[in-house]
Structure 1
Amino acid sequence: MTGEQAVALATAYFDSGELRRILARRIALATESQRHDDDAGILLYLEQEIMPPLRALGFELQLFDNPEAANRPFLIAVRIEDPSLPTLLSYGHGDVVFGDDENWRTGLSPWELSEEGDRWYGRGSADNKGQHSINLAALEQVFQARGGKLGFNCKLIFEMGEEIGSPGLTAICQQQRELLQADLFIASDGPRLNATQPTLFLGSRGCINFRLSIHARDKRLSLWQLGGITQQSRNPTG
C-alpha cells in the first residue's frame, strides 16, 4: 500500500464517524479522578475502552496497582514485533477534571459529546481522551495499512490520576524501567500555540518548581513614593 493509499484509508475512517462514536462513548464515562464515589468507573475505562482495541492489535497488557493512590491503576501495553526494530513509548491518561455540569450551557452536558461547527466538546475531548483516542486510531490504521504489523515495536502507559498530580507515576516508571525502555517517547498531552496550530515539542530537559525569597534591604520601602531611585529586588544587579 502506498503512502497516499494509507492516508486515504485513514481519512475514510475519520469520515465514517467511527472516531466520533468512540470518543463519545469514552466521554460518557465520568472518570473524575478527584472523586472516590465511583472508583469502579475508573478501572472500567481501562478495561472497556483501552484494553480491547490494544488486545486486538496484539499487545500484551498488564494492570498495575498504584503504589501511592488506591483505585488509580496503571496500564502498560507492549507489542514487540522484532527486538531489532526501534521501540516507541507513548502515554495517555483516562481521568478528567470535574464535569462542572451546572456551568455548561442549557442543553449541554460534559458527558455528552456535542458538535458546533468543526469543533467537538465534552469533558476529556481536549484532555486527554481526544488525544489518546486519535493515537490509538492511528495505530489501528498503520496496522491495517501494513498488513497486520506496525513496522516498529510499541509500548504504551496509561494512568488514571493525572488530574490529581499523577501520584505513583514516577514510582511505577522506576519499578518498571526495564519494561518501559524505548527509543522514542511521544506524549500527546501538552499545550498548543493556538487552537488551530498543532504544536510539536521535540524535547524537554525536565523542569523544577521552586520558591525564591529575596531580602534586599533591612526595611520596607514604598516604590510608589520613592520611584526610580530605589532599585527593585527582582532587577538584575550584575
Structure 2
Amino acid sequence: MTQSPHIWNTVYDNDTAPWVIGEPQPAILAAQREGWISGRVLDPGAGAGEHTIALTELGYDVLGVDLSPSAVAYARRNAVAKGVPAARLEVADMLAFADPGTEPLGEFDTIVDSALFHIFGTEPEARATYVRALHRLCAPGGHVIVLALSDTEAGFGPRIGEAIIRDAFTDGWTIEPLAATTYRGRITEVVAEEAARHNLPTEGPIDTAAWIARIRRT
C-alpha cells in the first residue's frame, strides 16, 4: 500500500502547509525535556524537518523521512538555513515498511510521530498498515510518540478520538501515558475558509486541542 505525494508536494512548493510553523512543536520539545526521547530516532512524516533538525542539534542520531520529495527538499533547505546541515532527511513511504519484503530503514529506539498518525483517522486499513510498519521499525522496548489533533474541539485538520489511538496500538504495544495537549499550526489559504466556519482566527499561529501518547513496543 502506497500513497501519492502530489497533494503534499503542492503545499510545500507553495509554502501553504498549515503545520509548517518555523519551529518544532512545543509538545514534542516538552516530551524531549521529560526524557521521552532516547537512542536512535526516526521522524516519520518529517515535513519541514523541524524535529529532525532540533533533535540533531541536541545530539541525537535521527533520521527524518517524508513521502513528499518537495517536503524533503524544503526540509534540507531549512536545515542549512538553521545551521544544521548534518540533519539527515530522506524520501520514504512509511506504509511500504509494513511489507516484510521491504528492506527496513533500520531499528529505532524512539519514533516521533508529529501529525502523521491522525492522517489515517478515517482509514482503518491504512492505519493498521502504518502501525505494522511502526512495529517493524521500532526496537523491542522502544517507544513511539504520537502527537495527533483531537476531536474534543472543532477545527481544521484531521481530528481523531482517544479511542482510535488506543484501538490501533493493542497487540505488541503498551500505551503508557496518553494525555491531552495542544498542537500549534498556522492559518494559511489551505485552511482559512474552514477556520472561519469554526469562528477561529483567520491568520497567524493557532494552538488547538491534541493528544500526546508514549507507546512502548513489547
For the aligned pair, the TM-score class normalised by the smaller chain equals under 0.3
Asked which structure has the greater RCO (Cα within 8 Å, sep 6+), the reply is 1
Looking at secondary structure, tell me which structure has more strand per residue: 2
Between Structure 1 and Structure 2, whose CA radius of gyration is higher?
1
